[in-house]
Amino acid sequence: MPNKSIVNSTRDLKLKEVISIIDGKRMGHITDIEIDVESGRLTAIVVPGMGRFLGLFGRNEDVVIPWDKINKIGMDVILVEGGSFGALKHE
């Protein structure tokens, strides 16, 4: 099981930047979370999709990162296993 720090609130999570440990890419800040309502457990975090051509035409769909792909939650960043946006499930 990955070593994850205790987080006081979802607001704390949204302040942290998400970074891929595979390629070092900054994926952005969390825009949403997914929770299993039956168990009350956080199941995934959602970050914005990569911008399209020069950001002129919106951006791709949001990227859903499953909880088991989160490697470490630090003071300022969340490290995730994911080399590219295409490798992770899209919303």
Q: What is the pTM of this model?
A: 0.72
Sequence spans of domains, the chain: 10-52+59-85
Task: Look at residues 41, 58, 45 and name the one whose alpha carbon lies nearest to residue 19.
Answer: 45
10-52+59-85: CATH superfamily? PRC-barrel domain (2.30.30.240)
Per residue in 41-69, pLDDT tens?
999 999 987 664 445 555 567 899 999 99
Six token digits for residue 66? 């499953």
Residue 80 has pLDDT above 60, yes or no: yes
What is the distance between the alpha carbons of residues 15 and 4, in angstroms, rounded to a whole number?
16
